[in-house]
A and B are shown apart, each in its own frame.
Chain A
Amino acid sequence: MPLSSRHLLGLQGVPKEDIQLILDTALTFREVLERPIKKVPTLQGKTIVNLFYESSTRTRISFELAEKRLSADAINFSVSGSSVSKGETFKDTIKNIEAMKVDMVVVRHAAAGTPLFLTKISNANIINAGDGIHEHPTQALLDMYSIREKFGKIAGLKVCIVGDIAHSRVALSNIFGLITMGAKVSVCGPSTMIPKYIEDLGVQVIYNIDEAIQENDILNVLRIQLERKAREYFPSIREYAKYFGIDRARLEKNKKSIVIMHPGPINRGVELSSDIADGEHQIILQQVTNGVAVRMAVLYLLGTVN
């Protein structure tokens, strides 16, 4: 049974069967990653371009590794933010890449909707590796994979996403994916960072982190942007850490059994204290390993279907 789309642009509207298929396929690739020779010939002869308009070492390396493990030819094309406005247009860049006969494009871009735009000007399979504050579907898929790995299921679990929900593509993709898979989703963060109409998505809003800890099985803690512009949304990093940061004392005060996730990189002492970031509650490094398997699954399913 193939996926219902030849692109992965986001998780909004993606049917449950597709997510299930990706997670199941990822499980087989996860086993490959445990072998001494971590390579399969599945995508031999396929050319994949990693088109990164925004620097993201982690996501790019994860994709690159997934591509290599599938024996695809991977090409990295990175465009630094400043040259975008001066250089050739996005459309021209894509047309050029298209002329080189590539099969798949993994795209990271600061502007929302760019992967969809790409599907209109290219024949390649398009995979969204993060577009603006819109979606980051492979991150949410690896989060869901990690949840399933830990709990053996997703349906019925209570997941709270903590942090700057309004400016997070990780949050939005997780919300769409988790709701489709039957989880109960809430968000927690300063009210300036919660979108005004978020409840219309079927998400509960919690402003008190202790309440979020008490009521959930999993906290998916987002990285807080430390730049000045992001900080206009809350008074200070100190205040954020005090009222929304998670440390051992806070967990002990509430309850013990909770799973902590984080998409990385962590601001230690801000959203997570070090004892939590390295402690027994977290599955952060499993997430990283699972990320490669999930991306292998996505590339494999999209690359061998059409």
Chain B
Amino acid sequence: MELLLKNAALLNPYEGIDIAETDIVISNGVIKSIDKVKNQDSKYFRVIDLSGKIIVPGFFDMHVHLREPGREDEETVKTGCLSAANGGFTGIACMPNTDPAIDSAEVVHFIKKQAENNLVDVFPVAAATIGRKGEVLSPMAELYEAGVVGFSDDGTAIKTAGILKRVFEYSRMYNLPVIEHCEDDSLSGGAMNESINSTILGLPPIPSISEELIVMRDIIVAEYAKANLHIAHISTQKSVEYVRTAKRNGINVTSEVTPHHFTLTDDMLKSYDTNYKMNPPLRTAKDVQEIINGLKDGTIDCIASDHAPHSLEEKESEFEYAPNGIVGLETSIGVTLTELYHKKILTLNQVVEKMSSNPRKILNLPLPSFRIGSSANFTILDVNEVWTVDIYKFKSKSVNSPFNKRLLTGRAVGVINNSKMFYSGEMIQIS
């Protein structure tokens, strides 16, 4: 079965590929040729004209909350994968704060089973401690064997420096990163960032130092334990500065930021719209500016959505009682292209690094290749399409997005992976 993709641009920075227009033949999911094809359209089972579109290595979101097991009403592995495909991702890492938590090989196998035969590759991140309670180490070796790509107590930071040190030491044996949600809960517990806005809105404040303290603690312990530390959803000016300095000092630290943290500020909360409630909270314009600097200079390695589906009943409530988090898989690429690429903060090469190769490198996963004979793992971008976000078109089970009705420029129009193509809302088997 051969598929012909015509007139596409091809861009893969780490393989030095940058072709303005070519045709690609994919045979049973494998790249057969990259070259102009003469008019023989009838020999292919499907021909798709990608004029004006750019094929890049499949994008990867390393911070996704699938709610299975536990809250299948909000998202399942299947709906999460469909949401990812619709958003332009061919791979995701799913965080362990499910119910039960991903702290045993059984749960890892269960998730992998749910993700079988899917276009989107699903890589579980395991809890660092049993039940994410910060007391007893999870069976890290067994979890490694079961195929997890990292350890995290996401939702909270690993409770104490003592446990953290042991998690670092143990994970080092398998060269897996420890992904930290940086928050000192003796300082947090509020509903929004501490600023003049939290005073005006009467919402209990979360000071930025709640994040920064743990970023510093983790950097210090990571250096001592010679481990790989990955800072999840970085959100404050000083956090970015601390990570920058640590990188300069040769410490193995990487970081990610969400599209909402480089786009929105706590000014948005004036509506008390719970779709602006997340953890870490939206910060100030100064923080956003430093995050932009960090994206530019490489302090921030990845863009990840922190996709966090929540039911409408739970989100449509009093602000202080609403759960934290927003869905992001289906807006992440659009917001990134609009806010970073079109505003000339990042080049398209850099966007590909931060959304495709860097997350895979951090998780020790192979990078998609455009070489003949490689299996096709593509994201197809239309960087100029102007579109309006409509939460009711999401494939996710949940609709809690602050970007609803936002006008964006650029999106993923399709993905190819595992001998499947998702294009124009249609799942196509290509082998």
* Smallest CB gap from B321: residue in A: A111
Interface string of A118-140 (1 = CB under 8 A from B): 00000000000001111100000
Number of interface residues of A (CB under 8 A): 26
**Partner pick for B200 among A90, A117, A132, A201, CB 8 A cutoff:** A201
Structural contact, B318 and A135, CB atoms closer than 8 A: no
Contacts of B200 in A (CB 8 A): 12, 172, 201
A286 to B203, CA, bound (A): 31
Indicate if A193 sits at the interface (CB-CB under 8 A).
no
Contacts of A197 in B (CB 8 A): 194-196, 199
Indicate if A91 sits at the interface (CB-CB under 8 A).
yes
Contacts of A116 in B (CB 8 A): 271-272
**Partner pick for B199 among A90, A131, A132, A201, CB 8 A cutoff:** A201
Q: Given A196-B194, A197-B195, A201-B196, are A113 and B201 neighbors across the interface (CB < 8 Å)?
A: yes
Structural contact, A91 and B201, CB atoms closer than 8 A: no
Structural contact, A132 and B195, CB atoms closer than 8 A: no
Indicate if B106 sits at the interface (CB-CB under 8 A).
no
Contacts of A131 in B (CB 8 A): 202
**Partner pick for A109 among B194, B207, B318, CB 8 A cutoff:** B318
Structural contact, B317 and A89, CB atoms closer than 8 A: yes
**From residue B343, how far is it (CB to closest CB) to chain A in Å?**
29
**From residue B303, how far is it (CB to closest CB) to chain A in Å?**
30
Indicate if B313 sits at the interface (CB-CB under 8 A).
yes
Q: Given A89-B313, A197-B196, A201-B196, are A117 and B202 neighbors across the interface (CB < 8 Å)?
A: no
Q: Which residues of B, 283-325, contact A by the 8 Å Cβ criterion?
A: 313, 316-321
> Which has the most chain A C-beta neighbours within 10 Å: B194, B201, B313, B321?
B201
A196 to B199, CA, bound (A): 8
Structural contact, B199 and A111, CB atoms closer than 8 A: no
* Smallest CB gap from B195: residue in A: A197
Structural contact, A134 and B201, CB atoms closer than 8 A: yes
A116 to B320, CA, bound (A): 13
**Partner pick for B203 among A85, A112, A117, CB 8 A cutoff:** A112
Indicate if B147 sits at the interface (CB-CB under 8 A).
no
Structural contact, A117 and B318, CB atoms closer than 8 A: yes
Indicate if A200 sits at the interface (CB-CB under 8 A).
yes
Q: Given A132-B202, A133-B202, are A113 and B196 neighbors across the interface (CB < 8 Å)?
A: no
Indicate if B13 sits at the interface (CB-CB under 8 A).
no
Q: Which residues of A, 77-98, contact B by the 8 Å Cβ criterion?
A: 85, 89-91
Structural contact, B196 and A91, CB atoms closer than 8 A: no
Indicate if B204 sits at the interface (CB-CB under 8 A).
yes
Interface string of B188-229 (1 = CB under 8 A from A): 000100111011111111010000000000000000000000
**From residue B96, how far is it (CB to closest CB) to chain A in Å?**
26
Structural contact, B199 and A169, CB atoms closer than 8 A: no
A12 to B202, CA, bound (A): 12
Chain B positions near chain A (C-beta within 8 angstroms):
191, 194-196, 198-205, 207, 271-272, 313, 316-321
Cβ-closest 9 pairs across A and B = A134-B202, A113-B272, A111-B318, A112-B202, A197-B196, A111-B320, A195-B199, A200-B196, A133-B202
Chain A positions near chain B (C-beta within 8 angstroms):
12, 85, 89-91, 109-114, 116-117, 131-135, 169, 172, 195-198, 200-201
